[in-house]
Amino acid sequence: MEVSEDRVAKLSEVLRELSLSDVLAFEERDPQFIVVKKLCTALNDPGLVAVLVAMNSVVSYMLTGRGEKHWGYFSEYFSRNRPSDLCRDFKAYVMKSPYLARGRDVKVNRIDRFCSAKLHDKLRDLTNLNEAWRLLANGLRSPINSKTVVFAIKMLYYAYRACGVNVKPPEDLPVPVDYRIATLTQCSGLINADVKVLMSRQGIVQEAWGRVTRLSGIPQVNLDSLLWVIGGALIYSDFNVDAALRKLIGDSLIPPSKVQVFRDLMIELSRECLRGDSN
């Protein structure tokens, strides 16, 4: 299983048509970013929002619905139910959320581990995300580049940004390899392997996107935001690029001046899975 250098080069070439400010503007229109921002407004406490987001990140797997819906429910729940005891109240949310029904007991156990390590105290108001990355990996007894850990750090970055706090994500934070990223890795032709295999071999997937990052100049944490939203649109349209593009434009995710660049990017990300009339 090897990374295709030709595909790394082509994806990087298209991505270089987007500036970092273009990507950051897209990030701010990400549905996950928007619902976290709503939580910031409701609670008016960036440190509390950051910890809640980190806790939700570590249970955001095996969902019973789309990730966007799960995060919307989370934001609405805690906007209405400000926690007074973080660990107790978050476990109550895990027990109630319809999106966390699968493997609920395991998710509660993960929150117990989070709280036993005092991460709800250690991470609160900790804007040094390199330090937060180390603390989270140690506290959960997980590899530092595991999907759960890197996704939680990405979402901590989102939380502080959404709450208006200037933070810098770790430069070497890799993409969290979930189903969407694994699917785009296969469909883009970056690695010729089954999606399930790619999800179990996250190291080589992170290496592939790391090469794209270095050539495109877009940090992986910001690239992941782009890929995750575009990946959702492509997957749910069965890789019909035109239908996915219309959805993103309709959701105000793509400005008119960048439509062609995003269309080119979506075609390259769909190379092996294209449907419809896109070419």
Q: Which residues are catalytic, by number?
A: 147, 178
Q: In sequence order, what are the residues at sequence separation of 6 or more whose Cβ sits closer than 8 angstroms to the Cβ of residue 78?
A: 39, 42, 43, 52, 93
From the list 177, 183, 209, 154, the residue with the least C-alpha distance to 27 is: 154
Integer distance in angstroms from the first to the last C-alpha of the chain?
27
Structure tokens at 38: 């709503």
Q: In sequence order, what are the residues at sequence separation of 6 or more whose Cβ sits closer than 8 angstroms to the Cβ of residue 8?
A: 190, 208, 211, 212, 215
Q: How many CB atoms lie within 10 A of CB 74?
A: 25
| Residue found by looking up tokens 């100049």 in the block | 217
Query: Alpha-carbon distance 118 to 128, whole Å?
Result: 17
Query: Alpha-carbon distance 40 to 62, whole Å?
Result: 26
Using only the alpha carbons of the chain, give its radius of gyration.
18
